[in-house]
Chain A
């Protein structure tokens, strides 16, 4: 794979230079939320960039890690997976420019036997697509229900609390997005705002993460486990819709893998913050280049043109909700930080 990728670039560079372009290819480095790694590694994407004289090199990292601990001096752009993480980078580095070339809602990936089990418990509903009822789920969590305590559960009688697998909320954006959803429901279907509301929801939110035990830094991790290890490790995993769609397009989904939409859900707006002029060029290309927009849709992201996403998912028979109705707002940057810090404290 890597070999093929390198080869492709080699050939592309040769073609570009052969056409007698006036300047050489420049290398632009970025740090990205890990769920976009497949997109940037795609030979077609690299080719589309190369045609514009750009070679993009990326390192994957958790989005909050990008916003907090990673040394950004080495990079030309940062491309976390949410607006709040981008906000933080912009504030810290006094940057006003940003690009949001694509977005993806948060989903729950699971397996048919688990979906059926949760449907019997009233936590999941099957309509045009599967819906995961956050409010009923949080009630199960508040009672600390284990899988082996669910009546007539022969599918997954495991001595483990019913908990959606997430990434580490201290570093990863997808966990922060999941926290945003849970905080809305725990706050009586209202976006959390202000200290009193934060204090009210924190104990429940902390349990959602701490009781899972160790969690990984990037969404790549648990979703790869979902694909490769199956139900045993991750019966329910919080992911970006794009990850599921991308896996479907590539034929990596196996029979029995089920996509559910949390009710409500939130949109993760993949936001590129340019750190210099080179990084700005990547932001502009991703937003305006038709080929790159087409390829983003191909990777499961929702782009400016909804018809592309609808056609792709129909072609590959991936049961997505084309119109998202039950979408709520992410809390403000400050509130989200307070909640994440509150959860982080309980990690000690």
Chain B
């Protein structure tokens, strides 16, 4: 080093702390070509969007840019296991690495990891219901909660375990607790506890593909269910939002919970290029003052043992074991969809008007076919039409077409799935677009069917690539809808925005029926149909 550089260093040493930091940062390893500390690209669980303000502050303080992309439970796992994440991301940040790490291919893809915060999955019940059950005074066991659920003494909403981490953690927790063995779950144990689990899930009356949608839906109409199974942080956040007429009492099962511990994990493929940015970012997030900010802004518990937890947190409940083997976890998810949960009644209202001719119709056929078992990826496996599910396909153009209804048997669904596939392949385009007449038809069918079997999750998917130009108008549909009985009005419509769909009308329709829209203009129709499965 030259004398000039040495003198420069002496000057630097006398500069302000900020200036020294800037110089040292500029000289450190793991930088990009311009000498900046670079950007960490992170594949994350969608619930982490509430950390964005804190991550912006992290970038300001450390110089490390942070780019989050969000993915559902199995989707994220699939991207890491399949190696697609290696090229696109430096790190993953889900509620837990457990499911990834139990996969034989998952462990080697994960590098260093730092836990940032935690939140147990618990039951939140309307205060009056918790009081009625006595759970505001003493902590019930999961067995007691399961018995009360089976007996219809309360109802709840929970997210879909294949789409959302809170549902996934809840499923594992409940199964572990009800198994009663005290050891981690394995395949035979799942079969043995299936009847008890089925009882527990009869009380589930609301499902959702994301924690955020579940709590929003509950907040808009808290009379739908008595409570939610969700992260403690989501339930505390709901209470703090003052959106609820009656607060939720948080019930901590005495025999344990599964806790999300949010490890920020460097992918092993990125250890060389991004190690420095990773160390800076995790170092920042684990600073005591940042840990306190995370705690107060997101209601998650701090990972730093030196940070005093806020008064809103009860003592950490015991932790239930998480299965050691991937096949046990997969068997559990499989059982949930095909045996344990209340089956779905799923109605697809499908536009086959003239404008669908060609590529659009082909992509619709592909999207539906993928749900009949053709998609063999991890995410696809749990996305097919499930055993016991009632699937209705209602094609429409100038007027509602002839609907076809399929009820999948309790096992060996292949033949029925093949029939759905065949019907799908036979769809042909032509004619006008009678959206609202067709929707009215779908609601009437759902009502009749629900009268015969009320114990199903019922929902309607509306796929259209244009505006309604035949039959009932949006306004006349609204008037008709508002005249339906309360049960029918709780059937949500999930409009898919496709082609030249009328975004405004579709959004209004989703709001009216407490559904939500899905955008198939920025991603493929297959992706969207898979995503909607989380809500059915």
Contacts and interface: CB of A to CB of B under 8 A. Distances in A.
B108 A212 contact: no
A144 B302 CA distance: 34
Contact of B13 (A14, A74, A159, A228): A14
Contacts of A17: 1, 5-6, 9-10
B358 interface: no
A333 interface: no
A298 interface: no
Nearest to B180: A159
Nearest to A19: B6
Interface stretch (A56-64, A79-87, A181-189): A56-64
Nearest to A61: B112
Interface in A162-185: 168, 170-171
B319 A214 contact: no
B101 A214 contact: yes
A88 interface: no
B318 A227 contact: no
Contacts of B287: 1-3
Nearest to B5: A17
Given A214-B184, A232-B319, A1 B286 contact: yes
B332 to A, nearest CB: 12
A147 B318 CA distance: 11
A348 interface: yes
A233 interface: yes
B255 A212 contact: no
Contact of A160 (B107, B108, B182, B279): B182
Given A213-B323, A214-B322, A159 B112 contact: no
A42 B204 CA distance: 50
Nearest to A9: B24
A221 B21 CA distance: 30
Interface in A217-234: 217-218, 221, 224-225, 227-234
A152 interface: no
A286 to B, nearest CB: 21
A10 B184 contact: no
Contacts of B254: 157
Contact of B272 (A23, A61, A74, A146): A74
Interface in B158-184: 176-177, 180-184
B354 interface: no
Interface in A237-280: 252
A147 B185 CA distance: 17
A306 interface: no
A348 B326 CA distance: 8
B243 to A, nearest CB: 30
B283 A2 contact: yes
B306 A252 contact: yes
A146 B24 CA distance: 54
Nearest to A215: B324
B323 A7 contact: no
B127 interface: no
A210 B324 contact: yes
Nearest to A250: B306
Interface in B129-160: 141
A71 B324 contact: no
Given A74-B272, A158-B256, A224-B115, A211 B321 contact: yes
Contacts of B1: 17, 23-24
Interface string B297-315: 0000011111000000001
A59 B111 contact: yes
B271 interface: yes
Interface residues of B, number: 72
B118 A10 contact: no
A324 to B, nearest CB: 27
A5 B318 CA distance: 36
Contacts of B323: 213-214
Contact of A217 (B113, B118, B315): B113
A229 B118 CA distance: 9
A62 to B, nearest CB: 9
A18 B9 contact: yes
Nearest to A149: B182
Interface in A52-104: 57, 59-61, 69-71, 74
A20 interface: yes
Contact of A232 (B12, B20, B261, B316): B316
B326 A160 contact: no
A171 B113 CA distance: 14
B133 to A, nearest CB: 20
Given A7-B17, A159-B177, A70 B268 contact: yes
B98 interface: yes
Nearest to A146: B182
A171 B102 CA distance: 12
B29 interface: yes
A288 interface: no
A314 interface: no
A104 to B, nearest CB: 20
Contacts of B303: 224, 228
Contacts of B13: 11, 14-15, 18
A307 interface: no
Nearest to A34: B112
A27 interface: yes
Contacts of A69: 107-108, 268
Contacts of B261: 225
A159 B24 contact: no
Q: Which of B110, B182, B272, B283 has the most CB of A within 10 A?
A: B182
B495 interface: no
B314 to A, nearest CB: 10
Given A24-B1, A230-B316, A347 B112 contact: no
Q: Which of B268, B302, B318 has the most CB of A within 10 A?
A: B318
Contact of B6 (A3, A20, A217): A20
A233 B316 contact: yes
A157 B141 CA distance: 11
A159 B287 CA distance: 35
Contacts of B28: 6
B65 interface: no
Contacts of A170: 107
B102 A214 contact: yes
A344 B324 CA distance: 11
A7 B21 contact: yes
B445 interface: no
A27 B275 CA distance: 14
B210 interface: no
A3 B98 CA distance: 31
A59 B275 contact: yes
B285 to A, nearest CB: 10
A213 B258 CA distance: 12
Interface of A: 1-3, 5-7, 9-11, 13-15, 17-18, 20, 23-24, 27, 29, 34, 57, 59-61, 69-71, 74, 144, 146-148, 156-161, 168, 170-171, 209-218, 221, 224-225, 227-234, 252, 347-348
Which 9 pairs of residues, A with B, have the shortest CB-CB distance? A2-B283, A213-B184, A213-B321, A14-B13, A228-B305, A233-B319, A211-B183, A214-B322, A10-B24
5 contacts: A1-B287, A18-B13, A214-B322, A231-B318, A348-B104
Given A7-B20, A217-B107, 7 more contacts: A6-B25, A9-B24, A57-B276, A59-B271, A69-B107, A213-B183, A217-B110
